[in-house]
């Protein structure tokens, strides 16, 4: 438990800024017994410095007796009690037609998050879950073999079945049967956030009396699965290959009655870099693009690998530079893309067979168009369920 870290609730200036009698005391009221054991009367909180410092001690040194519901509430609020969280809450409220007009205009971001939690706790939860999904950038992508597509209502109706399959699988891997699937829709994507237990952890500690002890706890883990309703691609963010396989089979079995519905195969190809004449197509939403990194593997007994980095390697890879790069397979490429929205150029990395690493929430639509315009999409499903390579222009 000592490993928990709160970005806002573990910060003295934040605790000094929130209105403790009006908002924080109401959040902590149902856990008054826990705080009483720490010498704090939640019904008599003040906005004084001493009160903030005492609360800071509790939030930065949580023990095993801290109620789970309190931990969950703090985790949800901790990520949304700033200006960025304020905007996320407002946007989600607008999308869900929730009227927050009764909220006072003079609330600081921390007070605003607490006030919304007290009136609409589900809204804060939705914003938090979406924030977790948006933090992931690296997904492994798997194409569907036919033209069948799903909608949000179909996936939501199957949440229980997915949890029934995934829970025992996690339990078999010593990660407890706890499994929660949260589903929502963003544009053409149905996004699923899977929360489950991680492996049990222990840490050595030293007490105030300089005694060495050992504490154990089980962290939670978040995985993200995205289903693109336009392309039928299943995108998975998970730590291990075995987890990605379990998700592919579970989603295939539950949603399409076929555990092998999302086969493991190539999604991208980079050989088009050799046939594009030394140039890359720029699509709407982009100012510029440069090829800045290339990995080439030669399938020989020594399995030689070349890694090239430069300001712009596009012409060189196409055979118009001083180095002969005709041999081997291009297995990874890094691009520096300048976006029309402004700011510094951002990186896109494509790794064979099925990873495109980029900021999906800011750049996803533009990157997808760029990959298609430059023929980096390796497979398209045929009617018979097989895949075919997309030829480069």
- Whether residue 296 contacts residue 306, with contact meaning beta carbons closer than 8 Å, is answered with yes
CB 92 within 8 Å of CB 130? yes
> Rounded to an integer, what distance in angstroms lies between the CA atom of residue 372 and that of residue 356?
12
Angle between helices 83-95 and 109-119 (to 10 degrees): 40
Q: Give, for 250, the enclosing helix (H) or strand (E).
A: helix 241-256
26: closest CA among 63, 66, 68, 77? 77
Cα separation, 360 vs 259, in Å, equals 27
Alpha-carbon radius of gyration of the chain: 25
Contact call for residues 244 and 237 (beta carbons, < 8 A): no
19's CB contacts (< 8 A; 6+ apart) are 47, 111
Q: Which residues of the chain register pLDDT less than 50?
A: 1-3, 381-393
Question: Peptide bond before 353: cis, by omega within 30 degrees of 0?
Answer: yes
Q: How far apart are CA 336 and CA 325, in angstroms?
A: 21
pLDDT of 301 reads 65
- pLDDT (0 to 100) of residue 3: 45
Q: Measured between alpha carbons, how far is residue 54 from residues 14, 51, 59, 76 in Å?
A: 13, 5, 9, 22
Please report the pLDDT score of residue 1 as a whole number: 39
Is residue 138 within 8 Å of 355, Cβ to Cβ?
Answer: yes
55 neighbors 74 (Cβ within 8 angstroms) = no
| Residue 111 burial (C-beta neighbours within 10 Å; 0-12, 13-18, 19+) | buried
User: What is the pLDDT at residue 285?
Assistant: 95
Beta pairing class for 189-197 and 220-228: antiparallel
Strand partners, 330: 296
* Kind and range of the H or E run holding 222: strand 220-228
**Model's pTM, two decimal places?**
0.71
Please state the φ and ψ torsions of residue 191, each to the nearest 5 degrees: -110, 135
Helix/strand/coil percent split, the chain, to 5:
40, 25, 40
Residues 148-172: tens digit of each pLDDT: 999 999 999 999 999 999 999 999 9
Q: What pLDDT is recorded for position 45?
A: 92
How would DSSP label each residue in 44-113?
G--SSHHHHHHHHHHHHS--TTS-HHHHHHHHHHHTTSSHHHHHHHHHHHHHTT---TTS-TT--HHHHH
Does residue 274 contact residue 261 with C-beta atoms inside 8 Å? no
CA–CA distance, 197 with 178 (Å, rounded to integer):
6
Asked if 180 and 196 touch (Cβ cutoff 8 Å), the reply is yes
Give the span between the Cα atoms of 20 and 58, in whole angstroms: 15
């Amino acid at each position: 438990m000592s490993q928990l870290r709160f970005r806002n609730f573990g910060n003295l200036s934040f605790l000094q800024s929130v209105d403790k009698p009006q908002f924080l005391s109401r959040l902590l009221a149902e856990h008054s017994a826990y705080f009483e054991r720490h010498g704090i009367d939640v019904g008599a909180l003040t906005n004084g410095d001493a009160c903030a410092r005492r609360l800071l001690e509790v939030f930065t040194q949580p023990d095993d007796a801290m109620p789970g519901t309190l931990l969950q509430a703090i985790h949800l609020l901790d990520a949304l009690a700033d200006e960025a969280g304020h905007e996320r809450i407002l946007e989600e409220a607008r999308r869900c037609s929730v009227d927050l007009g009764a909220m006072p205009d003079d609330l600081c971001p921390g007070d605003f998050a607490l006030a919304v939690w007290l009136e609409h706790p589900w809204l804060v939860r939705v914003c938090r879950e979406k924030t977790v999904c948006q933090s992931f950038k690296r997904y492994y992508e798997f194409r569907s073999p036919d033209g069948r597509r799903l909608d949000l209502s179909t996936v939501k109706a199957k949440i229980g079945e997915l949890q029934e399959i995934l829970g025992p699988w996690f339990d078999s891997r010593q990660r407890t049967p706890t499994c929660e699937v949260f589903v929502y829709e963003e544009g053409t994507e149905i996004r699923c956030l899977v929360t489950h237990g991680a492996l049990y952890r222990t840490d050595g500690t030293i007490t105030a009396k300089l005694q060495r002890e050992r504490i154990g706890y089980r962290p939670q883990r978040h995985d993200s699965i995205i289903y693109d309703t336009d392309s039928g691609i299943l995108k998975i963010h998970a730590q291990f290959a075995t987890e990605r396989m379990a998700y592919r089979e579970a989603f295939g079995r539950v949603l399409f009655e076929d555990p092998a519905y999302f086969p493991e195969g190539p999604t991208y190809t980079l050989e088009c870099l050799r046939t594009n004449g030394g140039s890359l197509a720029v699509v709407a939403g982009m100012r510029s693009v440069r090829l800045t990194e290339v990995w080439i593997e030669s399938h020989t007994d020594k399995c030689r690998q070349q890694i090239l980095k430069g300001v712009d390697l596009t012409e060189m890879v196409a055979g118009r530079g001083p180095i002969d790069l005709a041999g081997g397979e291009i297995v990874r490429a890094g691009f520096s893309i300048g976006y029309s929205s402004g700011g510094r150029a951002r990186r896109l990395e494509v790794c064979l067979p099925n990873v495109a690493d980029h900021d999906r929430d800011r750049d996803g639509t533009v990157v997808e168009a760029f990959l298609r315009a430059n023929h980096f999409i390796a497979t398209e499903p045929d009617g018979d369920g097989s895949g075919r390579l997309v030829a480069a222009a």
